[in-house]
Chains A and B, each alone.
Chain A
Amino acid sequence: MEVQLKNDKSKFKSTEVEKAIPLEYDLGNLAAFDTNPIDPKALKKGKDDFLKQLTRDNAQLIMNAIFNLPTKSSEDGVFATLPEPTTVIPREKPVPKEKILTRWEKFAKAKGIQKKKRSRFEYDEETGEYKARYGYDHTKNKEEIPEDWLIEVPKNADPMEDQYEKRANEKKERIESNKKRQKRNQEEAEAIRKNINPREARKQELLNKSLIAKTSTASLGRFDKKLKNEPKVKNQGIRKHRDSNTGDMKAEKEKTLEILEKTIEKKK
């Protein structure tokens, strides 16, 4: 029996290769590294044949290693599951920066609130069909009476108040306040990106704005009430007096001549 098996094997060429130093593999990249010294004489003798033989042996070894990996078979063939690559290869682009969360996102994360995907189609009970919520084919019958054709006046409300206007105003306010929050989120994110505490950044910005505002009074803020911890501003309240456009012709002539002389001197 054994003899027969041996014969059976010897019909084919062997898959075994002997190496003094075993190869190192990086099977994640399908690579093998042969650190055995190369015989320079043999290389010179017949370069291409030598290289081919060397590569064949190493290819055999790496193939053996790949065929020994755990496999999965599917319709397209047998797949070997590769390990993680071990060779350190530089990335193409830097590691993505972490997204800065908005206040709501932070809150939702802490509370464990998850975003629910709202389906694009909605069941219409009247017709018993699914209708698009928005976009293409969400056709709303134009002749249909709108849902809010009648609004109940709340019990304690002023009967003369226009409920439609009230609704519209409320919506406007909501939009406004949401925009404000959006802006705040953006500003805070910017501050975090610059590695500043967002509160400090806001404080600094307000202070800068207040200092600008002070220059807009007639006295350039000289007689304004001082804020607590207000920084001292150099030359505050000093107004530059410009010469009048009409009047002293002699002085003006001297001035322009002086400028002219200076420029000529510079050119020389």
Chain B
Amino acid sequence: MLRTIKPKNARSKRALKNREPKVEENPKQAIFIRGSSTNQIVNTALSDLCSIKKPYSIMFSKKNAIHPFDDQSSLEFFSQKNDASLFCVGTNSKKRPNNLVFVRMFDYQVLDMIELGIENFKSLHDFKSTKSSIGMKPLFVFNGELFEQREEYKKLKNMLLDFFRDEVAESVNLKGLEYIISVTAEPVANPTDFGKVFFRVYTIQMKKSGTKQPRIELEEMGPSFDFVFRRNRFAGEDVMKEATKIPKELQAKKVKNITHNDVGDKMGRIHMKKQNFDNLQTRKMKALKKKFNKVEENNKEEPSTKKAKTA
């Protein structure tokens, strides 16, 4: 645990307040960190992923003796110190060569971890193509039925979406959709086997199509990975429940007395007092107008025109 800091000036007070739990959260910050032994592939992979994730990423340039599956204390420390809740730890060992561990935190505690091995890595700089500018929101596409069927794939999908989606936006500039992250699950013959997962990043070019929507062409931007599944650790049910709670303020308010039927008509229910049928306005007819009444009365008693008016 870090010591609790008491802010001494307004600036640090504001900074600390920004770190407090919020109803609508800040975009998640990611830390890219090297384990005790790495190689060139892992290092470039980390820096490439970091540059995609910019500006919500921090690169740790030194090695750290981190073993996420054995001891999480240093991850917790870094998380609290940097107010970051995503980690990507790169290691390389004989047993697990070219290893990336994606870690998510909740309340500065490890929520879940997925370990992936890199095969067939191509860096961002190996592709001679236009790169997307910093801070653009990516599009995502997840290909393959496995992402709907298998628990590990589902978690990986959720993890990657969480990792790279940055802030939740209400609206998006149509010209700012610059790149797409494509994750494809290799089909497997045996339902318990794990296939590779292809992680590709492409820049998007919008061409004229003669319609409202543009014709899309892609150009590979990198990095490109073929991932293999290794170890993982998923969150317990109760922790996940706590982490996916929706604050009261954001929950949709129940709309009373308004329903929609199958046709799509809006039906409202109103509550009224008991109606007085004596005063009920029925269909208006010229013949029933009051002034005709008066005329008749006038005809009967001529001198009392004033009275009739007041009556």
- A interface, CB within 8 angstroms of B: 8-9, 11-15, 28-40, 43, 47-48, 51-52, 54-56, 58-60, 62-64, 66-68, 71-72, 76-82, 85, 87-97
Instruction: Give the number of chain B interface residues (Cβ < 8 Å).
Output: 71
Specify which chain A residues have a CB less than 8 angstroms from the CB of B198 in the assembled complex. Answer: 47, 51
Task: Answer whether residue B220 sits at the interface, using C-beta atoms and an 8 A cutoff.
Answer: yes
Contacts between chains A and B (CB distance < 8 A), count: 205
What are 24 contact pairs spanning A and B, CB under 8 A?
A: A9-B210, A12-B209, A30-B137, A30-B139, A31-B141, A33-B141, A33-B148, A38-B186, A55-B184, A56-B216, A59-B139, A59-B141, A62-B141, A63-B177, A63-B216, A67-B214, A68-B213, A76-B173, A82-B171, A90-B244, A92-B106, A93-B106, A94-B21, A95-B247
Contact: A38 with B143, CB < 8 Å? Answer: yes
Q: Which of B7-15, B162-170, B284-292 is near enough to bind chain A?
A: B162-170
Instruction: Output the least CB separation between B123 and chain A (Å).
Output: 15
The smallest C-beta distance from A262 to any residue of chain B, in angstroms, reads 41
Which of B22, B142, B214 meets A31, CB within 8 Å?
B142
Interfacial chain A residues near B106, Cβ < 8 Å: 90-94
| Stretch touching chain A among B23-31, B44-52, B58-66 | B23-31
* Selected interface stretch from B199-207, B258-266, B293-301: B199-207
- If A30-B137, A78-B173, A96-B247 touch, whether A59 touches B184 (CB-CB below 8 Å) is no
Question: Contacts A11-B210, A40-B187 hold; do A55 and B218 have CB atoms under 8 A apart?
Answer: yes
Lowest 9 CB-CB distances: which A-B pairs, in order? A90-B243, A31-B140, A55-B182, A93-B21, A79-B171, A92-B85, A96-B21, A58-B141, A67-B213
Q: A9-B210, A63-B216 are in contact. Are A88 and B244 (CB under 8 A)?
A: yes
Q: Is B161 an interface residue (CB 8 A)?
A: yes
Check A15 against B213 for contact (C-beta < 8 Å): yes
Tell me if A12 and B173 are in contact (CB < 8 A): no
Does B208 have its Cβ within 8 Å of any Cβ on chain A?
Answer: yes
A66 proximity list for chain B (CB < 8 A): 172, 174, 177
What 18 additional pairs, Cβ within 8 angstroms, besides A13-B209, A80-B172, A90-B111? A15-B209, A30-B172, A30-B177, A34-B144, A38-B185, A38-B187, A39-B187, A51-B184, A55-B182, A55-B200, A56-B216, A59-B204, A68-B212, A89-B158, A90-B243, A93-B21, A93-B107, A95-B245
Please report which residues of chain B, range 102-148, place their CB below 8 angstroms from some CB of chain A when the two chains form the complex.
104-107, 111, 137-145, 147-148
Q: Is B240 an interface residue (CB 8 A)?
A: yes
Please tell me if B175 contacts chain A, counting CB pairs below 8 Å: yes
Q: Please name all residues of chain B whose beta carbon is closer than 8 Å to the beta carbon of A28 when the two chains form the complex.
A: 168
- Cβ of B42 within 8 Å of any chain A Cβ, yes or no, is no
Residues of B within 8 A of A78 (CB): 173-175
Asked if A58 and B182 sit within 8 Å, CB to CB, the answer is yes
Q: Indicate if B151 sits at the interface (CB-CB under 8 A).
A: no
Interface residue? B20 (CB, 8 A): yes
Bound: A63/B177 CA distance, A: 9
B243 closest partner in A (C-beta):
A90
In the bound complex, CA of A87 to CA of B172 (Å): 18
